Amino acid sequence: MKYIDEYRNPEIIKKLAEAIKKISSASYTFMEVCGGHTAAIQRFGIPALLPENIRLLSGPGCPVCVTSTDFIDKITKLSLEPGTIIATFGDLIRVPGSELSLDKCRSEGADIRIIFSPLEAVSIASVNPSRKVIFPGIGFETTAPGTAVAIKKAKEKGLRNFKVLSAHKIMPPAMEAIIRDGTRLNGFICPGHVSTIAGSKIFNFIPEKYGLGCVVSGFEPADILQSILMLVKQVNNNLPAVEIEYRRAVKPDGNETALRNMQEVFEICDSWWRGLGIIPASGLRIRKEYRDFDAEEAFTFETSSTDENPLCICGNILRGLATPSECPLFGKVCNNDNPVGACMVSAEGSCNIHLKYHPS
Partner 1 sequence: MSDVVSLNHGSGGSQMRNLIENIFAGKFGMSKPLTDSALLENEGYTMAFSTDSYVVDPLFFPGGNIGKLALCGTVNDLAVSGAIPLWISASFIIEEGFPLEDLERIADTMASEAIKAGVKIVTGDTKVVSKGKCDKLFITTAGVGIVKSGFEHISKGSMIKPGDKLIINGSLGNHAIAVLGARNNLGFSSKIESDCASLNHIIQNFFGECSEIHFMRDLTRGGLAAVLNEVAEMTSLGISVQEESIPVDEPVKGLCEMLGFNPLSLANEGKFLLISSGDESFKILDILRSHPLGKNAAIIGEITDEHEGYVVLKTATGGKRILEMPSGIDLPRIC
From 164, 149, 145, select the one nearest 293 (Cα to Cα): 164
Q: Using CB under 8 A, which of the segments 61-69, 125-133, 307-315, 352-360 binds partner 1? A: 352-360
Return the number of the residue (230 or 353) whose C-beta is nearest partner 1.
Answer: 353
Task: Find the binding residues for partner 1 in span 305-344 (CB under 8 A).
Answer: 336-337
27 contacts partner 1 (rule: CB under 8 A): no
Decide: is 356 part of the binding site for partner 1 (CB under 8 A): yes
Adjacent-strand bridge partners of 112? 86
Applying CB under 8 A, the span of 20-28, 99-107, 193-201, 250-258 interacting with partner 1 comes to: 99-107
CB of residue 81 to partner 1, shortest distance in Å: 16
Q: Which amino acid is at 250?
A: V
Q: Does 8 bind partner 1 (CB under 8 A)?
A: yes
Contact by Cβ (8 Å): 185, 213: no
What's the sign of the alpha-carbon dihedral 198, 93, 347, 8?
negative
| Shortest reach from residue 203's CB to partner 1, in Å | 26
Site track for partner 1 across 251-280, x = CB under 8 A: ------------------------------
d(C-alpha 207, C-alpha 187), whole Å: 9
**AA identity, residue 134:** I
CA 314 to CA 316: how far, in whole Å? 6
Residues 204-223 binding partner 1 (CB under 8 A) are 221
Q: Determine the Cα–Cα distance for residues 71 and 141; give it in Å rounded to an integer.
A: 19
Regarding 43 and contact with partner 1 (CB under 8 A), the answer is: yes
Q: Of 112 and 202, which has the nearer Cβ to partner 1?
A: 112
Site string for partner 1, 65-94 (x = CB under 8 A): ----------------------------xx
CA 122/CA 28 separation, integer angstroms: 46
Nearer of residues 118 and 240 to partner 1, judged by Cβ: 118
| Closest CB to partner 1 among residues 294, 348 | 348
| Beta carbons within 8 Å of 338's beta carbon, 6+ residues apart | none
Look up residue 156 and give its amino acid. Answer: E
Of the candidate residues 24, 38, 42, 84, the single one contacting partner 1 (CB under 8 A): 42
Alpha carbon separation from 162 to 71, 136, 158, 194 (Å, rounded)? 18, 11, 9, 26
Pick 202 or 224: Cβ nearer partner 1: 224
**Among residues 91 and 141, whose Cβ is nearest to partner 1?**
91
Q: Decide if 313 contacts 319 (C-beta within 8 A).
A: no
Question: Least separation, in Å, of the C-beta of 49 and partner 1?
Answer: 6
- 357 lines the binding site for partner 1 (CB under 8 A): yes
In the chain, which residue ranges form alpha helices assigned H by DSSP?
10-23, 35-43, 63-66, 69-79, 102-107, 118-127, 144-157, 172-180, 192-198, 205, 221-237, 256-265, 295-298, 314-318, 342-345, 350-357
Position 96 contacts partner 1 (CB under 8 A): no
Q: Which is nearer to partner 1, 100 or 295 (CB)?
A: 100
* C-beta of 45 vs 83, nearer to partner 1: 45
Q: Which of 286, 242, 295 is nearest to 262 (CA)?
A: 286
106 touching partner 1, by CB under 8 A: yes
Q: Is 1 helix (H, G, I), strand (E, B) or coil?
A: coil
21 lies in the binding site for partner 1 (CB under 8 A): no
The CB-of-336 to partner 1 minimum distance in angstroms stands at 4
d(CA 253, CA 102): 37
Residues that bind partner 1 (CB under 8 A): 1, 4, 8, 10, 13-14, 42-46, 48-49, 93-94, 99-100, 103-104, 106-108, 115-117, 120, 221, 336-337, 347, 356-360
